[in-house]
Every structure is written in C-alpha cells, then in structure tokens.
C-alpha cells in the first residue's frame, strides 16, 4: 500500500539562474521538515542534491537531483535543477515531470538571463509557480528592486505575498500578507518561524502590500471581483482560496522571501508548496493529442492501467543503469511487468525505489504522480514510455536543446580507445544532449555538447568515473556544403586487368532542395539501361561521396539526385562498379551546380550591464552578428543576436573581459547559412592544408 495518495503529492521543480541558492533551499527544507538532521551545504560538499564528484569540485549543480520530505501530511518532492545554461537539458527534463515550480531569484542580482530562459520552459509546460527572492541576508540586497525585476520580466502577475523584516545581516523574518502576521527566526535555529504581530515600522507598508495583493487576487476571478466591489476587501479565507485558484490557472505568481542558508522562510515556502502548488490530480499532465488534435490527459485513478515516462538515466558503478521515471497513470508495483512503447520489449520492474539525493530507498509501489527509480532495465532509455500490458499509450517526449560545440577527443593512451568508447556510451545514455560520433574524413572521435563547460565536465567524468585520460583538440566548426543550381554529369567506371573487369556508367542530375530536406534520390530510368538490381548501388555511391563533400570535405546536404540513364555490361558490371560510377558522377556534377559552404548560425541572448553595452555591441558586429532586438531590464540589456558559431569559440572569455564578469549569454542552434565568399575561401584553403599535412 502506497504511503501517499496522488492528491497528497507535490512535485516541485526548483529552477532559476546559477547562484540563486536552489540547492541550499532544498537542503534547508529537508532540515526544517526533519528529513535531514543537519544542514547540507554546497561549499562543504555535503548538500543532498549536489553529490556528483564534479558538482562538489566545481561548487555548481550539473544535473537534476531529487529529494523528498513530508510536510503537514503531504510529500514534497523537490527536483533541484542546474542554473547554468549549458546544463539546461536537465531542467527541461525535470519540468516535464513537475507539477509546480519554485523560481529562485537572487535578492541582489534580481532576475537574470537563465531565470528568464527557464521561465519560458515553465510556460511551455504550463506549470504553476511561486517566485522566491532568496539570499536576503546578503549585504546591499533590496527586496523591492528584486520584485521590480520580476515584474519587468514576468509581468505584473508576480505579486508579493510576503515582506522581509530587516535586510542584509539584519534580515530576521518575514511578514505574511495573507495572515498579516510576522514570523521571526532564531539564528541557526530549526527553520520554523515564531508567529507574532507585524512590527510597527513596517505596518503601513504591509497594509499597502496586502491591499495590492487583494486587488490582484480579485482581478483574477469575476466572483471575487464582485465581492471585492461590494465589501471593499476579501477576508482571509476568500483571499487564500482565490490565490490558490489563480496560481493553479497560472494567472498569479506569488512572491516569497527567504534566506535559505540561515533557514529563514523555508517553512513558509513548504507551506506554499502544499497550499498553493497543485497535486497531480489538480494538474493533470498532457499525455498526447488525439487524431483530432485534442489534448488527452493522464488518468490518475489508482486502478487505471499504469503508464510512466522515463525522464532521466544514470549509470551507477554498483547498481548499473538506473532509470528515473514518473508514474502518470495508474499504480506501479514492484515486480510488475511493463512494455516499452518504443522497443515493445517486456521489462520487469524490480528494485523499485524512491530517490533521496544519491540514496535509493526501496518502496513497494508508486501511485500516479509519484516519481521513482528502477534499476537494471534491459532496454529502456531517457524519453521512453513504460506502460501496462494491453495498453498502447505513449507519452510525449521532451524536446532537448541541440549540441552546439564540438571537440576532437583523443585518449592519451592508445590502449584506452575501446575503454573510452564504452565510457562515452554510458555518458551519452545519461545525457540526452551529448553527442559522440567518428568523423568519416579524419576518423577523429568527435564529442559535441551545448557549450564548452558541458564538454569539459564530460571529460572530467571520463577521468574521475572511468579512469580514462583524454585530451581535447580545438573545437571544429561543423560546416556543411550544398548546391544552388541544377547540373548533370556522367560517371563512367571502366577497369580491365585480366579476367573479369569492372564496368558501370551512371548519368545523374543534381539539384538543390530547401534547407532541412536532406538527401533525396529519384530513380527516373525508363527501360533497362541499368538493371534494377544495380540502381541502389548508384544511390549508395552518391550518399558516400556526399558525406565527403567537394569543396572542403564537409558533408553535402539538402540536394536531390535523379538517376536517368546509364550503361551496363552483361559480364563486367557489378554493384561495386555502379557504386563507383555513382560517386564519380556526383563529383563531376556538383562543381557545376554552384556549390557553397554553409555554417551553423546560433541564436544568442547576451545579458550585459548598461555601461558595457557599447563595447559588447561593437564586438558583436565584429563577429558578424546580426542583432534582432534588445530588451531593456533594470540596469542591464538583453541583446538578441544571431552569430555564426565560428565567431563564438572564444566568446565566453571575451565577454567576461568586456563586462568585468557581469555579462552572460546563452546560445542555441537555429539554422545553416551561406558562408561569405572571402571567409569560405579561407576555410577551404585551411582545410586542404590540414588534409595535406595529415
């Protein structure tokens, strides 16, 4: 029997920019609720949700981690997410299984660029949220300013429900505007506030803030608006009920305040999770859309056929592969059999557990809405759906960001080549964004990630977890080639060296296709100039030649090939001969079809202080950046710009230098564009020189 019913569950994603105290908040909540008997701290390396060796060493969150606690009869499962842009795939996966979110904002810095990015992810998944102004015990913090940055970024729906008592080192409590009570906290206490009257010096400010809150709640509901006009106010019960409804409908985002490192306000945050954020019953998750495009939501009835989504996978040295999943429908029981919707494989769900940081606590069952872990599944990966036998349900996948930067990876010891391949296979199983492939031209092992830090962390994991030392070569820009005109050519392969010879002639036409179309092959031969059995060989020869390109050895994309004529010999023709003929025809045709070099274009958001704007804009122009627009924020600017990836290889270091460490940026792949002729010629010449040197 499950300890909690679905209505008692709260799955809460803790999201926000780096250094907003997300991990500390989770640790403080675990201490306050009694789930832990000491305060875990990132700087001490003992935080419950920052346990990976790289997280401890770098003092940053790298992966999403889970921890749960009981609070007033409900189970709150916190999903602590990274705040660095390069690890945002972990945040996307976490939000897919969250029913509510805490958006952490630093009291000094206010809303930052990654906070806005994860806010957009939250919006895409229709997740209700509360906003937490955290770290109010730091010097020079300004709660009012921090709230203003929230309103600027998220809209006037961001409305305070608390005010701080004191600031900086004198921050000692909060005023709850819903109850009009003050809660004060002992230094290094148990994190539970002592209720009292609102201090006289902030009584007027509290009354004004309460009035603003009441008005915003009344605006969110017509019935409450009528009551407000009749009475001029809302009583506590009406206010709480109206706020809860508005949060569930994502019409209001209440703003709380805390100093999690000192345990101030964390009990009130957990109260908000239980009272304001929805359970899986109140926030049914979208499963898929039916044939008419209408949304179909999860059935949280415990007797319904179960369905679960795998949203994370890790490899443990002792337990092997561990899949983390959320039960969307029905009840999952230990030793149940499940069908993988992708592979149709039958999986036995042994070793069912509830994650608490790196610890796995055995459980007998998991109800709809519950997050759990299963070890040693045979053929199940991140994004897979597991469902009951007899069901055909498949849950919608998470759309992850694309890898944006690549490095050539080389083991320091040649004997480690097989070992490094096995280790990378395990790491790519854990990380849905990480890409590993072998370059068909250089035969180099290429490791691709969202950013340089992402790749560097992967390299550190190779050494720390798998004992493989490897080195990175400078990142290579993944150029592509394409054509801009139609051209025809004949490929003739004839070889006679005694005995059976080789003979094949293929006549083809190449023509461009729209971006993203890939490679298309059309057989337009009428009659028997080439036997049907040889025509696929021509296609294969073209495809292999396209991988090597014609300008600089980069793959040729977005083109069509028509095979419309050819010749064969009754004795000397073979599949190999026509494969070579197809390749030769391709290499003859493409130079006549106006070939061009393509480069990846990145969509970049750069956040800079106002005083650095001129320097940064000048630098972006020098990098061939095309500014799409700017969003002013209090004291800073967010620049939306498209820049070729080739111009971004040193950008992180240069931006830090230009802004004194106060600038930040995020980037994601958007499309391929033509390389300007002068730059294309330089790239082609450099590539040829490298090929000759090898």
Where does the pLDDT of residue 653 fall: very low under 50, low under 70, confident under 90, or very high at 90 and above? confident
- Give yes or no for residue 1 having a pLDDT over 60: no
Q: Would you give the end-to-end CA distance of the chain in angstroms?
A: 66
Domain count for the chain, please give it. Answer: 5
List C-alpha distances in Å: 97 to 125, 237, 254: 9, 31, 22
**Predicted pLDDT of residue 408:** 83
pLDDT of residue 629: 94
Confidence of residue 446 (pLDDT cuts 50, 70, 90): confident
Residue 685 lies in a domain: no
Q: Any idea which of 347-356, 375-384, 661-670 has the lowest mean pLDDT?
A: 661-670
Q: For residue 345, what is the domain's CATH number?
A: 2.40.30.10
What CATH code is carried by the domain that includes residue 81? Answer: 3.40.50.300
Which H/E stretch holds residue 374?
strand 371-375
* Same-domain check for residues 193 and 77: yes
- Please give the share of the chain, as a percent, with pLDDT higher than 70: 97
* Same structural domain, 192 and 105: yes
480: CB partners within 8 A, 6+ apart: 554, 555, 556, 557, 597, 598, 599, 672
Q: Is residue 36 part of a domain?
A: yes
Under a CB-based contact definition with an 8 Å cutoff, are residues 184 and 194 in contact?
Answer: yes
User: Are both 419 and 351 inside the same structural domain?
Assistant: no
Highest mean pLDDT among 69-78, 214-223, 275-284, 378-387: 69-78
Residue 511, domain CATH: 3.30.230.10
- CB–CB of 513/520 below 8 Å? yes
Q: Where are the alpha helices (DSSP H) in 103-249?
A: 113-124, 143-154, 203-219, 222-231, 236-248
pLDDT at 288: 66
- Asked whether the predicted pLDDT for residue 166 surpasses 90, the reply is yes
Among 472, 493, 526, residue at a domain's last position: 472
What's the pLDDT score for residue 499?
A: 66
- Report residue 301's pLDDT band, with 50, 70 and 90 as the boundaries: confident
Q: Which residues touch 512 (CB under 8 Å, ≥6 apart)?
A: 482, 483, 484, 485, 486, 558, 559, 560, 593
User: What span, in angstroms and rounded, lies between the C-alpha atoms of 101 and 278?
Assistant: 10
Last residue of a domain, one of 354, 387, 420: 387
pLDDT: which is higher, 435 or 416: 435
- pLDDT over 90 at 325, yes or no: yes
**In angstroms, rounded to a whole number, what is the distance separating the alpha carbons of residues 160 and 162?**
5
* Residue-level pLDDT at 475: 67
What's the pLDDT score for residue 258? 96
Among 593, 608, 632, where does a domain finish?
A: 593
CA nearest neighbour of 343 among 312, 377, 366, 296: 377
pLDDT tens for 538-594 read 999 999 999 889 999 889 999 999 999 999 988 888 999 999 999 999 999 999 999
Radius of gyration from C-alpha coordinates of the chain: 30
Whether 507 and 561 share a structural domain: yes
Residue 523 covered by a domain? yes
* Residues 418, 346 within the same domain: no
For residue 20, pLDDT beyond 90: yes
Rounded distance between C-alpha atoms, residue 124 and residue 398, angstroms: 11
Residue 513 domain flag: yes
Q: What is the pLDDT of residue 442?
A: 61
Give the residue numbers spanning the domain of 656: 597-679
Nearest to 132 by CA among 160, 156, 153, 155: 160
Give the tens place of pLDDT for each residue, 91-117.
Answer: 999 999 999 999 999 999 899 878 988
257 and 326 housed in the same domain = no
- Tallying the residues shown for the chain, one arrives at 694
Q: How far apart are CA 117 and CA 541, in angstroms?
A: 44
Q: What is the CATH number of the domain that holds 425?
A: 3.30.70.870
CATH number at residue 617: 3.30.70.240
Q: Does residue 626 have a pLDDT over 60?
A: yes
**Segment 313-339 mean pLDDT:** 88
DSSP secondary structure, 309-352, as one string: EEEEEEEETTTEEEEEEEEEESEEETT-EEEETTT--EEE--SE
The verdict on 318 and 186 lying in the same domain is no
Given a contact cutoff of 8 angstroms between Cβ atoms, the answer to whether 149 and 633 are in contact is: yes
Q: What kind and span of H or E run contains 181?
A: strand 181-184
- Do 485 and 350 fall into the same domain? no
The helix (run of H) or strand (run of E) holding residue 436 is strand 435-438
Share the mean pLDDT of the chain: 90
Q: Are 279 and 100 in contact (CB under 8 A)?
A: no
* pLDDT level of residue 441 (50, 70, 90 thresholds): low
Q: How many Cα atoms are found within 13 Å in the side-chain-facing hemisphere of 415?
A: 1
Contact 51, 27 (CB under 8 A): no
Let me know if residue 53 belongs to a domain.
Answer: yes
Q: Count how many Cα atoms sit within 13 Å of the Cα of residue 367 in the half-sphere of its side chain.
A: 19
The reply to whether 224 falls in a domain is no
Cβ count within 10 A of residue 313: 24
- pLDDT class of 501 with cuts at 50, 70, 90: confident
In a domain, 246, yes or no: no
The residue that leads in pLDDT, 476 or 624, is 624
33 and 173 co-located in one domain: yes
Domain shared by 315 and 382, yes or no: yes
Give yes or no: residues 601 and 588 share one domain.
no
Q: Is 280 part of a structural domain of the chain?
A: no
528 — alpha (psi -120 to 50), left (phi > 0) or beta?
Answer: alpha
Q: Clarify whether residues 602 and 576 are in a common domain.
A: no
Instruction: Report pLDDT for 249.
Output: 95
């Amino acid at each position: 029997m499950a300890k909690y019913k679905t209505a008692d569950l709260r799955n809460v994603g803790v999201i926000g920019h780096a250094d907003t105290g997300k991990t500390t908040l989770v640790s403080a909540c675990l201490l306050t609720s009694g789930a832990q008997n000491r305060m875990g701290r990132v700087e001490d390396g003992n935080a419950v949700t920052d346990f990976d060796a790289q997280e401890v060493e770098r003092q940053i969150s790298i992966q999403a981690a889970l921890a749960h606690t009981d609070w007033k009869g409900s189970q709150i499962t916190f999903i602590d997410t990274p705040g660095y842009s390069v690890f945002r795939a972990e945040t996307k996966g976490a939000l897919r299984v969250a029913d509510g979110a805490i958006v952490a904002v630093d009291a000094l810095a206010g809303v930052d660029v990654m906070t806005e990015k994860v806010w957009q992810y939250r919006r895409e998944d229709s997740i209700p949220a509360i906003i937490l102004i955290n770290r109010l015990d730091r010097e020079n913090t300004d709660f009012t300013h921090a709230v203003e940055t929230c309103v600027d970024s998220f809209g006037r729906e961001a409305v305070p429900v608390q005010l701080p008592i004191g600031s900086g080192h004198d921050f000692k409590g909060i005023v709850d505007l819903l109850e009009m009570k003050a809660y004060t906290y002992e230094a290094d206490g148990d994190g539970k506030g002592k209720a009292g009257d609102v201090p006289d010096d902030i009584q007027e400010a509290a009354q004004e803030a309460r009035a603003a809150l009441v008005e915003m709640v009344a605006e969110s509901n017509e019935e409450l608006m009528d009551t407000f006009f009749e009475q001029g106010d809302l009583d506590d019960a009406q206010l709480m009920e109206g706020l809860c409804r508005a949060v569930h409908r994502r019409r209001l985002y209440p703003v709380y305040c805390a100093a999690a490192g000192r345990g101030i306000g964390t009990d009130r945050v957990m109260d908000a999770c239980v009272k304001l954020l929805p359970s899986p019953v109140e926030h049914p998750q979208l499963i898929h859309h039916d044939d008419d495009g209408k949304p179909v939501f999860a059935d949280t009835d415990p007797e319904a056929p179960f369905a679960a989504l795998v949203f994370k996978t890790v490899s443990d040295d002792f337990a092997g592969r561990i899949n983390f999943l959320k039960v969307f429908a029905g009840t999952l029981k230990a030793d149940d059999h499940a069908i993988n919707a992708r592979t149709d494989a039958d999986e036995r769900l042994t070793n069912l557990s509830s994650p608490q940081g790196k610890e796995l606590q055995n459980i007998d069952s998991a109800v709809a809405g519950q997050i759990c872990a299963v070890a040693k599944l045979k053929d199940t990966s991140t994004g897979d759906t597991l469902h009951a036998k007899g069901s055909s349900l498949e849950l919608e996948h998470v759309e992850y960001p694309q890898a944006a930067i690549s490095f050539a990876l080389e083991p320091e010891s040649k004997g480690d080549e097989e070992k490094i391949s096995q280790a990378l296979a395990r790491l790519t199983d854990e990380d849905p964004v990480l890409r590993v492939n072998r370059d068909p031209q250089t035969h180099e092992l290429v490791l691709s990630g969202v950013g340089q830090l992402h790749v560097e962390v992967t390299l550190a994991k190779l050494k720390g977890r798998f004992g493989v030392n490897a080195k990175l070569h400078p990142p290579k820009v993944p150029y592509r080639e394409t054509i801009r005109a139609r051209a025809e050519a004949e490929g003739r392969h004839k070889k006679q060296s005694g005995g059976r010879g080789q003979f094949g002639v293929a006549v083809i036409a190449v023509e461009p296709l729209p971006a993203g179309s890939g490679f298309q092959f059309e057989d337009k031969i009428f009659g028997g100039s080439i036997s049907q059995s040889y025509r696929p060989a021509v296609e294969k020869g073209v495809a292999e030649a396209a991988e090597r390109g014609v300008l600089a050895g980069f793959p040729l994309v977005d083109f069509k090939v028509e095979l419309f004529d050819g010749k064969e010999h009754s004795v000397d023709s073979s599949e190999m001969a026509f494969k070579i003929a197809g390749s030769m025809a391709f290499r003859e045709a493409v130079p006549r079809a106006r070939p061009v070099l393509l480069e990846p274009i990145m969509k970049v958001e750069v956040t800079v202080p106002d005083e650095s704007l001129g320097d940064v804009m000048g630098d972006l122009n020098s990098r061939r950046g095309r500014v799409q627009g700017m969003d002013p924020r209090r004291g800073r600017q967010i620049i939306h710009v498209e820049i070729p990836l080739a111009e971004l290889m040193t950008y992180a270091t240069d931006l830090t230098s230009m802004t004194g460490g106060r600038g930040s940026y995020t980037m994601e792949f958007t499309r391929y564009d033509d390389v300007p002729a002068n730059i294309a010629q330089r790239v082609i010449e450099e590539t040829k020189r490298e090929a000759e040197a090898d």
